[in-house]
Structure 1
Amino acid sequence: MIQTTIKGSKISAVSVCTPSNKIPVTDFYKDFGEELVDKFSGMAGVKEIYRSKPEQTASDLGYLAAQEIFEAGKASADEIGVLVFVSQKPDYRSPATSYVLQKRLGLNHDVLCLDINLACSGFVYGLQTALALLDSVIGNKKALLITADTSYKTMSPQDRTMIMLFGDSGSAVLLEKDNSENTEDFSFACRTDGSKFKSIITPAGAFRNRDLKPIDEAWSDDIVRNDYNTHMKGMAVFEFSITSVPKLINDYFYTTGTTSENYDFFILHQANLYILKQLSRKNKIPFEKIPVSIDRFGNNSSNSIPLVLSDHYSNNGQEKLKMFVSGFGAGLSWACGSFSIDTSVILPIKVSDEFFVDEL
C-alpha cells in the first residue's frame, strides 16, 4: 500500500449541503414492485434519499457548502490558496470545475485549483491531496476541499441496483496549517486496481466512445440502459468491498501498530448497510463505533464521509475525536486514514436547491 503522513495541519471547518427533495424508497414501489423494493431496503439499509433538481449540479452543492464556511466566519475568500474539487459529475468536460468554483466563490488569482475524477474513495484521496498541496504552499494560505456528486444524472431510471441507492449532496472542508504542540498527524493508505476499471463505468460521454448512440436496450443483467448510463457490476464490486477493503484496513492497523480501540469512531463510505456490517466483523470494529447515515441519505459517493460527520457530530459541542476514515469504489480505488477533529468545527447540514445560471 502507498502510505502517507502529513504533519502540521488541521481541519478547521466541515460543511455539507443537500437538496430538499426527499424521496422515500417506497416511491419506487410503482417501478419495481413492493417485494423487490422492501428486499433492497432491508439489505442496503436505505429508507430515503435526497435528489437534486435537474438544473442543480454537483458544484452547486459544493459551492453552497463552501459559502456556509465563509458565512460562519471560519475563513475569508482571500485566505484560500488551494482548491481541490472531487466529483464524477463536473459542470463541463472542459474546463475543470474547480476554476468555475474559484470564480463563483470570489477567490483571488493566487490560488491553485485542481479537479479529481473520483467517486466513493474521493474524499480520502482528495483530503491527502489537498493537505499535501497546502503543505507545499509558502505562507499562511488555507485549503478548500470540495466533494460533491449528483450520481443519479447518469443512471438509467430502470436500474434497480443503483437508482434507489444513490443520493446527492456536496461538502466543503477547510484545512489550515497548525504547528502547535497539540497538532496530530494525518495518516493515509491507498491502493488501486485499474484492471477492474469496468466494474463501475459510464462507457460513453467522453472521447473513447464518441460515436455511440444513446439506445436504450436490455443488457446482460436484464436492466434497460444505454452507454451513457453508469453501469456497476454489483457482485464484483460487492466482493471487492468485503475482501480488498478490509485487507487494507488490517494492513493499516498492522503498519501503524493500532487496533480499533485506538479510534473513537470509524467514518466509512456508506456503500450499503450489509457491507458496513461485514467491515465491522472482518476488522473487529464494534458496530457502535460505525455511525450510519445511509438509511436517511443513501450512498453519497465521494461525499459519504463528510455527510456522516455533519449528520452525527455537528451538534456535539467541543470534543476532540480520533476518526478512522475509509472510502472505496470506482477505479477500482480504495483508501483509508486517520485524523483528529474538534467537533465544534463541524457545521449542521444545510438544505438548498439553489443553482448557478450559466451565461451560455
Structure 2
Amino acid sequence: MNPTNTPAGKYVRVEHVALRGVVSASPKTEIRNQDLTDRFSPELIEEIGKMTGVRTRRVATEEQTTSDLSEAAARALMADLGWEPDSVDAIVFVSQTPDYRLPATACALQSRLGLGTHCAAFDVNLGCSGYVYGLWLASKLIDGHAVRRVLLLAGDTSSKLVDPQDRATALLFGDAGTATALEFDATASPTSYVLGTDGRGEKNLIIPKSTYRGACGAGDLPESNPDYLYMNGPEVFNFTIRSVPMMVNAVLEASGKSVNGIGCALFHQANAFMLKHIAKKLKLPAEKFPLNIDRFGNTSSATIPLLMATLDDKAPLAGDVVMAGFGVGYSWAAAHLSLNTMTVCRWIEV
C-alpha cells in the first residue's frame, strides 16, 4: 500500500514483520525524589512528583553508557530467542546519547555482539518518538526484503544531559537501554503507522550548546546553562495535548479499529498528568493505559519497550496494541500492531 498523508501525519502500512521479543535493561542505581533534598525543598519535590508522577528513577553510573545497557539487553534477548549472532542482518541504534560523535554506536555494537560483517548497522538520532520510528524503519527493511532479522536497540542515558539544579528536568529523567527482535514472517499481521514532524518546536526541547552550531540558538531562550537540556514544559504540554489524540485516532481509523478493540495503549512515559489527560480525551480506561513513570521516570526512546517489559500483569500484553511516541523535535509516531508473535518480554538490571 502506498503511503497516505493525513492531518495527523503520514500513514504507512507494513506487511510480513513479526515482533519476536523485547528485553529492557535498567541501571541498578535507583534514585528517589526524597534523596534530592540537598538541592530542592521537600515541598517542591512533592509538588513536582505529583505533576510528573515520578517517584524513583534508575540512573547510569558515570562509566555506564546507553550502548552498555542496550548491549546487555540484546545479549539476553538473543539468548532467549536462540538467535545466532550470524543470523542478524541489521542493527538499528536509536538514541540521543551515543557513545561518540563518530563512529556510529551501532557499528561498535555490531562488533561487541559478535554479529557478522554482512550486518548493516546505523544510528538514528531521535528521542521521545524514537522507538516507534525505529520499529517502522526496521520493519520497512524487512518488508522490502532487504533483510530477514533486525535488532532494534533503543535507549538513552538522559540523566547525563540534565542540569542537576534544574527543577524542570532533574527530577524527571531516568536511563534505560532496550532490545527488540523483528523478523520476516509471511503470516504476520500487518502493522499500521502514522508519523509526523513539526520542526517549529525545535527549541522547546534542546541542548543549545551542541556539536557545531554552538550556543548560537540560545539567545532567545530563558536564562539556563546551554550545556544542559532545556525544556519549555508548557509548550511541550500544548503540543502533546494537541497532537497525540489526533495521531492515535488516525492510526486506529486507518487500521479499522477502535479503542475498545485493542488490548492496551503503550505511550511514551513523558509526564503522568499529561498522559492521564490524553487518556481521558481518548476515552481509554485505566486498565488499558498502563504507566510506569513512577518507577523509572522519563527514559526517552526507551519508555515504550521498558513499559512492555515491566507491566507485571497490569495490562494484557497480547493481541492488538497501540504505541505512541511524541516529543523532542517536535516528532511523533504511532503504531497499531499485533503482539501475538512475541515470545520474550522481560526486564533486567545491569
So what's the TM-score if we normalise by structure 2? Answer: 0.92
- Structure 1 residue 74, shift from structure 2 partner: 3.5
Instruction: Name the SS of the counterpart of 1:103 in structure 2.
Output: helix
Q: Which residue of 1 aligns with 2:159?
A: 152
Counterparts of 1:219-298 in structure 2, within 5 Å, are 225-298=224-297
Distance 1:243 1:114 in 2: 32
Q: How far 1:160 moved relative to its partner?
A: 0.8
CA displacement at 1:313 relative to structure 2 = 5.3
> By how many angstroms is 1:251 displaced?
2.7
Aligned pairs for 1:102-113 (under 5 A) are: 102-113=110-121
Deviation at 1:220, TM superposition (A): 10
Deviation of 1:229 after TM superposition, in Å, equals: 0.7
What is the identity, as a one-letter code, of the residue corresponding to 1:32? F
Q: Tell me the C-alpha RMSD between the 2 structures.
A: 2.3
SS in 2 for 1:174: strand
Supply the distance in 2 between the matched residues of 1:228 and 1:134 (Cα, whole angstroms).
39
Q: Please state how far the C-alpha of 1:37 moved relative to its aligned partner.
A: 0.5
- 1:341 counterpart letter in structure 2: L
Unpaired stretches in structure 1, ≥5 consecutive residues: 213-218, 353-360
Aligned pair in 2 of structure 1 residues 184, 293: CA closer, same or farther (>3 Å)? same
**How far apart in 1 are the matches of 2:326 and 2:26?**
22
Q: What are structure 2's unaligned runs of at least 5 residues? A: 1-8
Q: Distance in 2 between matches of 1:66 and 1:196?
A: 33
Aligned to 2:212: 207
Q: 1:248 to 1:315 in 2, by over 3 A?
A: closer
Structure 2 contact 269–298 (Cα < 8 Å) conserved: yes
| Residue of structure 2 equivalent to 1:40 | 48
**Cα distance change, pair 99–278 in 1 and its aligned pair in 2 (3 A):** same
Distance 2:23 2:341 in 1: 12
Deviation at 1:340, TM superposition (A): 1.0
Q: Give the equivalent residue in structure 1 for 2:193.
A: 188
Deviation (angstroms), 1:3:
0.9
Partner Cα distance (1:323, 1:6) in 2: 15
TM superposition score normalised by structure 1: 0.90
Alignment of 1:13-52 (within 5 A): 13-52=21-60
Shift of 1:255: 3.4
The SS at the match of 1:93 is: coil
Cα distance in 2 for partners of 1:92, 1:172 equals 20
1:91 correspondence with 2:96: no
> In the superposition, relative to structure 1, how do residues 223 and 296 fare at CA in structure 2: closer, same or farther (>3 Å)?
farther
Residue 30 of structure 1: how far off its partner (Å):
2.2
Q: CA deviation at 1:258?
A: 2.3
Cα distance per residue 1:313-342 (max 9 Å; x no partner): 5899x9732110000011100111111113
CA distance in 2, matches of 1:294, 1:320: 21
Task: Tell me which of 102, 109, 130 is aligned to 2:138.
Answer: 130
Which residue pairs with 2:186 in the alignment?
179
- Give 2:16's aligned amino acid: G
Structure 1 residue 157: Cα displacement? 0.6
Deviation, structure 1 residue 247:
1.8
